[in-house]
């Protein structure tokens, strides 16, 4: 049995290993958001239906870590740390996806006029348009810096929750505007900050709540906006991970090792998977003719995650690439 504690800044900190495991599960789920199998069948639609909510899980976990980092290091050192951490990662992967997209367009003889438009390059720099999923990273920069700046002052307990509700409400109301993604992330990051102040409840209570919420997530599809259904699931799921870590602080060493591996590779899987998904989708499309059933979709999903995980794990072994995937 290995104790789940570490020392940071002269303070003993309990490492929430279940949060790291949840990060890995969320990364596995997000792979399904970019499956390339087409035409989309009911099997593929149900996979993406469950995968979309993992973006909210990632955002809430980012809020949890924003709160913890602020507690550890203070506001300005933490802001500097987050900028140094996120901006090089964002610009590196923007270049990677720009090069990959240029190559794909060249091979397919697609229209290349966008590369001559100033607006396109501004969106690449400020909105994450080098690849559709990179919006999350640049939005995280904006949101975390704003959150850390506000946390210079002792905030009223209700303010993070109010900001979370405001962001999620705006993302629902402005569903046809690109900025809805930024409000979505803003709301869920502040939700993560708010959840770190909650200490009540047992892991069994949140486990039951999570199970019920997952059922409702399915039953309310087409009735309730998906961001609100995500909210229904992500709250008990994150609180379950926190309470499990606190209820069982001493766990077998292999559990901690698995948690560290999943936590360390989760961002790398998120960043790398659209590239491998593109290639795997083309491969499976040749092996499995449409229409695509559940076996083809799950094969595409699993193969894409496996390739992205292996690449992320390999990059962690290289000192110069580690900071770009972890």
Helices (H) and strands (E) in the chain, counts: 13, 4
Count Cβ neighbours within 10 Å for each residue of 106-142 and write b for 16 or more, e otherwise.
Answer: eeeeeeeeeeeeeeeeebbeebbbbbebbbbbbbbbe
Where is pLDDT greater, at 16 or 109? 16
User: Considering the chain, what is the average pLDDT of its residues?
Assistant: 79
- The neighbouring-strand residues paired with 250 are 3
pTM: 0.82
Instruction: Please write the tens of the pLDDT for every residue from 175-185.
Output: 665 567 788 88
Instruction: Please write the tens of the pLDDT for every residue from 187-246.
Output: 888 888 888 777 677 889 999 999 999 888 888 877 888 888 888 889 899 889 888 888
Between CA 120 and CA 126, with CA 125 as vertex, the angle to 5 degrees is: 95
Instruction: Please write the tens of the pLDDT for every residue from 26-39.
Output: 888 888 777 765 54
pLDDT, residue 28, reads: 87
Indicate if the pLDDT at residue 295 is higher than 70: yes
Strands (E), the chain: 2-3, 5-8, 11-14, 250-251
Enumerate residues 6+ apart whose C-beta is below 8 A from 185.
59, 136, 139, 140, 143, 167
Predicted confidence band of residue 7 (pLDDT cuts 50, 70, 90): very low
């Amino acid at each position: 049995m290995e104790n789940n504690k570490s020392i940071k800044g002269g303070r003993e900190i309990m490492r929430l290993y279940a949060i790291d495991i949840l990060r890995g599960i969320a990364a596995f789920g997000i792979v399904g958001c970019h499956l390339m199998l087409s035409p989309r069948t009911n099997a593929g639609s149900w996979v993406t239906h469950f995968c979309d909510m993992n973006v909210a899980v990632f955002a809430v976990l980012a809020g949890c870590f924003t709160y913890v980092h602020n507690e550890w290091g203070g506001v300005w050192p933490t802001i500097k740390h987050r900028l140094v951490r996120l901006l090089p990662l964002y610009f590196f992967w923007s270049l990677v996806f720009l090069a990959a997209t240029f190559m794909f367009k060249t091979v397919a003889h697609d229209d290349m006029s966008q590369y001559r438009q100033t607006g396109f390059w501004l969106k690449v720099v400020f909105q994450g348009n080098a690849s559709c999923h990179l919006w999350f990273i640049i939005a995280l920069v904006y949101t975390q810096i704003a959150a850390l700046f506000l946390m210079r002052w002792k905030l009223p307990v209700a303010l993070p929750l109010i900001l979370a509700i405001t962001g999620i409400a705006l993302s629902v109301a402005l569903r046809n505007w690109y900025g809805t993604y930024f409000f979505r992330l803003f709301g869920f990051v502040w939700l993560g900050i708010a959840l770190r102040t909650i200490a009540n409840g047992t892991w069994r209570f949140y486990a039951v709540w999570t199970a019920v919420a997952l059922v409702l997530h399915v039953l309310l599809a087409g009735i309730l906006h998906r961001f609100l259904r995500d909210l229904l699931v992500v709250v008990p799921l994150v609180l379950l991970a926190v309470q499990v870590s606190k209820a069982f602080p001493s766990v077998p060493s292999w559990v901690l090792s698995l948690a560290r591996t999943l936590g360390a590779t989760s961002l790398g899987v998120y960043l790398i998977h659209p590239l491998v998904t593109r290639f795997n989708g083309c491969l499976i499309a040749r092996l499995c003719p449409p229409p695509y059933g559940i076996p083809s979709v799950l094969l595409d999903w699993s193969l894409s995650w496996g390739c992205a995980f292996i690449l992320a794990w390999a990059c962690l072994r290289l000192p110069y690439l580690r900071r770009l995937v972890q």
